[in-house]
Amino acid sequence: MGLLILFGVFAICVVIGTPVAFAIGVASVSAFFYEGLPMMIAFQRIISGISIFSLMAIPFFIFAGDLMFHGGIALRLVRFASSAVGAMRGGLGVVNVFSSMLFGGISGSAVADVSALGAILIPIMKEKGYDVDYAVNVTVTSSIAGLIIPPSHNMIIYAVAAGGGLSISKLFLAGFIPGALMCLCLATVSYVVAVKRGYTSEAFPGFVSLFKDFIAAVPGLMTAIIIVGGVLSGIFTVTESGAFGAIYAFIVTIVVYRALTWEKFKLAVTNSVRTTSMVMILIACSGAFAYLLTFYQVPTKMSVFLLGISDNPVVILLMINLMLLLLGMIMDMAALILICTPIFLPIAISIGMDPYQFGMVLLMNLGLGLCTPPVGTCLFVGCAVGGIRLEDAVKTIWPFYLAILVALMLITFIPAISLTLPNLIG
């Protein structure tokens, strides 16, 4: 009954429009009251949930991403990507994917990717004769790269949800190849669809122009290199690298690009504070929720349930993927990382999956949920930027979903894709 109250109250709160963080908190408190557990335990779990030093990296990552979002980095990355691959048939679609791979590695946010790159590329693609549904679909689905290619604050959330025993640097390394693989699959589909629709190619601007655009993009790209490189080399902790990355991003947008006005700076600060607040409240409330999941033995019961259906690891992994995909369609990503990790990670480990590999599977599954209705934040933003109805975009987005699913299956069943780089550092 207590488990029913926990999930029932949570579901009711979500349905009536309560923010997910508060829905988790209310559900947790309700279950504590029902079980007669001391409320002191709930408050201790809430406080301990955010009393983790590595979580201080999240506001720095978010702030650095907002600074680069408003400071001109997206435009320079688009120019570089266009010079590099724009001459292909239907090249602007591949440019879109390539730009997302570059910008996603800096912002770490799929929504920021759609907002920044969509505002630049979708109008250009429409002007060049590309259908708006194609432009929106490429922009929306490629935005997932920001969740997997480091630095990603979602990886830090996953590490916390996994119990704090995972190395952030190894998680960063684990994301490079899966992120690149997914972008390669999306670029292939973008090219095939572009050829099928008869889109033309752009003229190659020449190597001199390519070099100039590359030089212009380097200062922005260095933000990700500093953050990730600092962590991997051991020069910085993940929190210190985030702080240094935010300082560097501020200097680049002010001194080098000179695109960050006072109004844009205030907007970047406001957005980063709002986003950080939501994430931290969510993590705090999830501490009590995770305690109750353990109290009700949900991971064990879920493991028994799945193993009761089949003891074949392939079947179990397919069922976990399906559950994550369905959940990702109806709930916020950060909340699902905190809720699903304690449930599914022990099951994945029990059938031989490495926790770093499972992290990539989890992030890609939930990232796909950001592109699918009914609660697809990236899809909604992309449609708003492109001025297209949601149903019109969804009608033709299925090849891009298929590309992501192909990458997801490869990452799920080929451990080397996620683990080769992390294993290099022991």
With both helix axes pointing from N to C terminus, report the angle between 207-233 and 238-251 in degrees, rounded to the nearest 10: 150
DSSP reduced 3-state for 201: strand
What confidence tier does 106 reach under pLDDT thresholds 50, 70, 90? low
Residues 6+ apart with CB under 8 A from 141: 186, 371, 397, 400, 401, 403, 404
- Rounded CA gap, 46 and 394, in Å? 39
Q: Could you give the count of Cα atoms lying within 13 Å of 265 in the half-sphere of its Cβ?
A: 12
Question: Letter for the amino acid at 212?
Answer: K
Question: What band does 402 get if pLDDT is binned at 50, 70 and 90?
Answer: very high
Radius of gyration of the chain (CA): 21
Q: With b meaning 16 or more CB within 10 Å and e meaning fewer, what string describes 242-269?
A: bbbbbebbbebbeebbeebeeebbeebe
Percentage of residues in the chain having pLDDT higher than 90: 15
CA distance 201 to 212: 21
For the packed helices 262-295 and 39-50, what is the interaxial angle rounded to 10 degrees?
Answer: 140
Looking at the chain, how many residues does it have?
426
Q: What is the mean pLDDT of residues 123-134?
A: 83
Mean pLDDT for the chain overall: 84
Which has the closest alpha carbon to 420: 231, 175, 152, 229? 175
Give yes or no for a contact between 379 and 372, defined as CB atoms under 8 angstroms apart. Answer: yes
Checking if the pLDDT of 358 tops 80, the result is yes
Q: pLDDT class for 399, splitting at 50, 70, 90?
A: very high
User: Distance (Å, rounded) from C-alpha 424 to C-alpha 426?
Assistant: 6
Calculated CA dihedral for residues 365, 370, 373, 378, nearest 10 degrees: -150
Q: Are 153 and 58 in contact (CB under 8 A)?
A: yes
Quick one: the chain helix, strand, coil %, rounded to 5?
80, 0, 20
Calculate the alpha carbon distances from 86 to 79, 106, 203, 354, 362 in Å: 9, 22, 8, 38, 32
Place of tokens 């239907």: 90
What tens digit of pLDDT does each residue of 365-376 get?
A: 988 888 887 667
Quick check: 239 and 201 in contact, CB under 8 A? no
Given a contact cutoff of 8 angstroms between Cβ atoms, the answer to whether 178 and 240 are in contact is: no
Is pLDDT of 105 > 70?
no
Is the pLDDT reported for residue 425 higher than 80? no
Contact status, residue 55 vs residue 168, Cβ threshold 8 Å: no
pTM of the model: 0.84
Digit-coded pLDDT (tens) for 45-78:
888 777 777 778 788 888 887 787 777 777 787 7
| Rounded Cα gap, residues 283 and 114, in angstroms | 25
**pLDDT at position 107:** 58
Token pair belonging to 79: 């120019």
Which residues lie across from 89 on neighbouring strands? 201
> Percent of the chain, pLDDT > 70?
97
